């Protein structure tokens, strides 16, 4: 596993876990604003950046990713003599929650930035994560836009196709109209580092009798996020409960209660034909689900705070790096 490091070995340990279709380089706009003496480690998850594409067993949820990162987390805690502040973005937020389930004693604080719902992505209908169909139809690898997957595999850097990686980044990785400026090529590089394969990104689907006609497969990244395999609500019961800070933007179009990446929401908007309606297949209340689980976490002896940035989309650490860094300084302390 490739790991990008910053700072000094004696500094407070901070582990940064990137999200889907990106890599450790996606943290660079934030790292510039962090104290230079912090011991920062940012791994490339398998199949991203400079780490090998080992394939992903989706039936394990996000455990393949978490198992890869766990030795790094333990080493950082042991070498520094203190627990680690773990920051996870989007899919990386799910990996961070899985690490909390597996290694709670190694984590001093958890920062969840626009995290996937603890109930997974898509296919659930209420704050308790009730499935909309028994086979979790509409979730997993088959839900990916095939044009985006094709252009991602081709490492397309253009803007001619609406589904090009650059256009997707501009439209959804931040709030509408955000200017990535000089960082745009760097951030696009992280997207294009994604390994596209049946057992990596996005993963395959299986036929379903339920709308929209496909259900998750057993291999690949998007299938790891399906609620068929992913349930992180066990964080409520971990014996050691580090404080959790949940950071999100109010204009997030990816992780929201009306996500443009949720096929139920697209069906409701008339963009995917045959939608069965709100009673049978409502959009997933992603934000509400996360809040409900974190409230239970607090009721069971933990603590959390929710930080919401107005006018910000899916990547607060890029859209508001100075403010995000200030929050981290409060958490890390030195």
The per-residue pLDDT for range 94-130, each reduced to its tens digit, is 999 999 999 999 999 999 999 999 999 999 999 999 9
Average pLDDT for 327-332: 97
Joined tokens for residue 181: 């400026």
Q: Is the pLDDT of residue 10 over 90?
A: no
pLDDT at 334: 74
Q: Is the pLDDT of residue 275 over 90?
A: yes
Average pLDDT for 174-195: 97
Are 220 and 199 spatial neighbours (Cβ–Cβ below 8 Å)? yes
Q: Please list, residue by residue across 287-315, b when 16 or more beta carbons sit within 10 angstroms of its beta carbon and e when fewer do.
A: bebbbbbbeebeeeebebeeeebeebbbb
Average pLDDT for 182-186: 97
pTM of the predicted model as reported, rounded to 2 decimal places: 0.97
Which single residue is written with the structure tokens 């910000």?
312
Torsion-angle region of 199 (φ positive above 0: left; ψ -120 to 50: alpha; else: beta): alpha
Q: Is the pLDDT of residue 201 over 80?
A: yes
Report the mean per-residue pLDDT for the chain: 97
Are 79 and 105 spatial neighbours (Cβ–Cβ below 8 Å)? no
Q: What angle do CA 41, 43, 45 make, to 5 degrees?
A: 160
Q: Is the pLDDT of residue 13 over 80?
A: yes
Share of the chain above pLDDT 90, in %: 98
Q: Cα–Cα distance between 322 and 311 in angstroms, integer?
A: 15
pLDDT at 333: 87
Average pLDDT for 192-207: 96
Q: Confidence band (pLDDT; 50, 70, 90) for 9?
A: confident
């Amino acid at each position: 596993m490739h790991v990008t490091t910053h700072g000094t070995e004696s500094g407070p340990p901070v582990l940064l876990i990137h999200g889907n279709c990106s890599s450790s380089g996606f943290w660079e706009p934030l790292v510039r604003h962090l104290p230079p003496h912090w011991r920062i480690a940012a791994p490339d998850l398998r199949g991203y950046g400079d780490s090998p594409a080992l394939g992903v067993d989706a039936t394990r949820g996000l455990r393949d990713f978490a198992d890869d990162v766990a030795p790094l987390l333990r080493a950082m805690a042991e070498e520094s003599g203190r627990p680690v502040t773990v920051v996870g973005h989007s899919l990386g937020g799910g990996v961070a929650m899985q690490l909390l389930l597996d290694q709670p004693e190694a984590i001093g604080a958890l920062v969840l930035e626009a995290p996937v719902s603890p109930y997974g992505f898509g296919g659930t209908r209420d704050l308790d994560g009730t499935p909309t169909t028994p086979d979790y139809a509409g979730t997993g690898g088959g839900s990916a836009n095939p044009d985006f997957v094709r252009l991602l595999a081709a490492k397309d850097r253009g803007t001619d196709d609406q589904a090009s990686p650059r256009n997707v980044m501009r439209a959804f990785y931040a709030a509408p109209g955000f200017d990535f400026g000089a960082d745009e090529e760097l951030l696009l590089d992280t997207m294009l580092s994604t390994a596209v394969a049946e057992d990596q990104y996005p993963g395959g689907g299986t036929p379903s009798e339920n709308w929209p006609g496909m259900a998750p497969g057993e291999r690949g990244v998007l299938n790891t996020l399906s609620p068929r395999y992913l349930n992180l609500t066990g964080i409520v019961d971990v014996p050691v409960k580090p404080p959790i800070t949940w950071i999100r933007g109010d204009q997030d179009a990816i992780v929201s209660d009306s996500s443009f990446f949720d096929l139920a929401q697209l069906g409701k908007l008339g963009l995917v034909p045959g939608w069965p309606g709100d009673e049978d297949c409502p959009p997933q209340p992603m934000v509400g689900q996360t809040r409900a689980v974190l409230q239970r976490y607090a009721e069971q002896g933990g603590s959390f705070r929710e930080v919401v940035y107005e006018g910000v989309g899916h990547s607060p650490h890029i859209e508001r790096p100075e403010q995000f860094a200030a929050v981290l300084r409060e958490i890390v302390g030195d």
